Amino acid sequence: MAWKTKLDETRNGLRNLNGVIPDTMRAFNAMGKTVKEGGTLDFKAKEFVALGISVAIRCEPCISLHVEALVKAGATREEIGDVLAMSIQMGGGPAMMYAAKAMECYDELTA
């Protein structure tokens, strides 16, 4: 399946969930906004952390959302590669397989 399709499906699933638990979703989104806007790290650095965690815990929908955010933030393929290398070191073989998926996602979203 194409990563753009995965992004659409992820967003549809989140909209569906929002229809059932809007207060929880609103609170979660507010926390995300606060975390990304505050602190000493810039948005791109925080998204690099989120991508690394996404790979390490093997969450494909998370990978697609954070790679998309990084593409919009101007991340380069080499920067993504550095994050994926660290994810592999921390997550071992399974993380390496998901790192490959994250690079595919980046390549597709920047093509």
The answer to whether 109 and 67 are in contact (CB under 8 A) is yes
The answer to whether 80 and 92 are in contact (CB under 8 A) is no
Rounded to 10 deg, the angle between the 77-109 and 3-20 helix axes is 80
Cβ atoms within 10 Å of 72's Cβ, excluding its own: 12
Instruction: Tell me the per-residue pLDDT of 9-66, one tens digit each, with 9 for 90 and over.
Output: 999 999 999 999 999 999 999 999 999 998 999 999 999 999 999 999 999 999 999 9
The answer to whether 102 and 55 are in contact (CB under 8 A) is yes
Instruction: Tell me the per-residue pLDDT of 54-84, one tens digit each, with 9 for 90 and over.
Output: 999 999 999 999 999 999 999 999 999 999 9
Threshold 0.85, pTM exceeds: yes
Q: How far is residue 39's CA from residue 21's CA, in Å, rounded to a whole number?
A: 29
